[in-house]
Structure 1
């Protein structure tokens, strides 16, 4: 006899279709996040919904995937297969990070505790991944690039500042009542935003960083690629800080 619970449980297809019409705005979203990570997160959210998982459980799975990638990055020798393990685990963690919020929308909305947990995990991975690069390079790269170890340390500092500023911007806009809400949108709305702008944000796209780790088994190539990405991240961050300061400065006038 079919149970009432089984009858009421949504199907995978129903969940995916509901999420097609309940997406964040694509405004300002980098290319990988917009075109790869969100669609993948949507499908993982639908699977989690069918399985009866909570958003916090999906966040915990995201943390576990990212932590596993960092452990391999630090401890595994620099062989050809290393990137084939690290990059997919990081990408999975990122996709699950997109899925937890989408799952919350499927279940009728998130909670403050869930938002807190999600941000704490994001803050931890933002710094720990780059610190893992520094430790892993020190332990496994041959020859050991001692002077270069400053690059991931700088990357960690700038990436942490970038993440904190994004959260702070959102908080201040909420307080001012002028938050540019990442509201749910119709499925066609994403196409209204420039793909070129998304591509221009590639240096700060976490998905691009995930893909870069495919090269970690070839240390010389990885060092060059990582250094170029770090330089791009610093440049975009500097420009963004100027723009954000001007935007936040206008909130004082709006509140007056």
Structure 2
């Protein structure tokens, strides 16, 4: 629906990407600068979710206009990379400034999440880049698509991560939920890296 709207009013794919960035980085900035509250948490959730929806629309708009461009793809990936690393860093700043943490060691959770997210994103981009350079089609995911597989993947889904910010104003609840998602992301990365490496060896 957003892609259809953007196309109808004449937005270019890069402008759609920019709209996405405005929503997303506004939400990220609020985490680091405004004291937590239920209202703020809901606002951040909506800003991140709307930003994600617009981010999903830019490629569709490009196809509606006859195809994308290397510059557009580059811009999209750079903004995604900025989002992936700045969101957990904003969480760390928010925790440090506003949360009554029993120990500052808890700050290692969002900092570690930043590392995991960065490695995961770069690994996926590098998989695509190396395969494309060698003219190899993308490998199908083992096990295909199923309801069970989708449910198992929910803890690593960005939409679920966005939703957790609805409880940003309840520190204990958010710390627990966010820590569980960080652990899930780490386990997912730990499982994915050997698979990706084996595929690279087969190229």
Question: Which runs of no fewer than 5 residues in structure 2 stay unpaired?
Answer: none
Cross-structure match for 2:95: 137
Cross-structure match for 1:146: 104
Note the alpha carbon deviations across 1:112-166, whole angstroms, 9 max, x for none. Answer: 0000000000000000000000001111113575110010000000100000000
Cα distance 1:144–1:55, how it changes in 2: closer, same or farther (>3 A)? farther
Runs of 4+ aligned residues of structure 1 deviating over 3 Å after TM superposition are: none
Cα distance 1:218–1:200, how it changes in 2: closer, same or farther (>3 A)? same
Cross-structure match for 1:165: 123
Verify: 1:80 aligned to 2:32, yes or no: no
Matches within 5 A, 1:1-256: 43-143=1-101, 145-180=103-138, 193-251=145-203
Shift of 1:175: 1.1
Note the alpha carbon deviations across 1:20-49, whole angstroms, 9 max, x for none. Answer: xxxxxxxxxxxxxxxxxxxxxxx1000000
Q: How many residues align?
A: 200
Note the alpha carbon deviations across 1:212-237, whole angstroms, 9 max, x for none. Answer: 11111101100000001100100011
Shift of 1:193: 2.9
Counterparts of 2:156 and 2:134 in 1: how far apart (Å)?
Answer: 27
SS, match of residue 38 in structure 2:
coil
TM-score by length of structure 2 reads 0.94
**8 A contact 1:79–1:218 mirrored in 2:** yes
Q: CA RMSD in A?
A: 1.5
